[in-house]
Amino acid sequence: MKPWQRDQLTRALAQRREVLRAELGDDEARLRAGGSDMDQADLTRDLDELREIEAARRRMTDGSYGLCVDCGAGIGFERLHAEPEAARCVECQRRHEKTYRR
């Protein structure tokens, strides 16, 4: 990965992290005010995404960012640009989703 690509992805992760933190505050406020199942679902989804972003930031720190956690192959910049927190290459993600459908 080129340095400018890494910088761009680092910024994207940081920006999304800040947006999510604000959304989590809103989600929690709605729940405290007697929120609905939809509010709980929003909170859960936002927490899951924040965890994925934090994991991506750890991979950046340890040098494994951009490598598939399943097969070790490189994850293309196009995929990371679209989803900076991606932990798997497209093929492994397909397999993962097929195996672990929610």
Q: What is the pTM for the complete model shown?
A: 0.84
**Calpha distance 60→58 (Å, rounded):** 5
- Domains of the chain, residue spans: 3-99
* CATH code linked to domain 3-99: 1.20.120.910
Give me the pLDDT at residue 51, please: 95
**Calpha distance 83→58 (Å, rounded):** 16
Kindly report, residue by residue over 63-96, the tens digit of the pLDDT.
Answer: 999 999 999 999 999 999 999 999 999 999 999 9
Question: If we measure between CA atoms, which residue out of 87, 29, 11 comes closest to residue 55?
Answer: 87
**Calpha distance 70→15 (Å, rounded):** 27
Give me the pLDDT at residue 13, please: 96
Helix (H, G, I), strand (E, B) or coil at 74: strand
> Residue 38 above 80 pLDDT?
no
> Residue 24 above 80 pLDDT?
yes
> Residue 102 above 70 pLDDT?
no
**Calpha distance 6→49 (Å, rounded):** 20
User: CA of 36: how far to CAs of 25, 28, 32, 42, in Å?
Assistant: 16, 11, 10, 10
Give me the pLDDT at residue 19, please: 93
Rounded to the nearest integer, the mean pLDDT of the chain is: 91
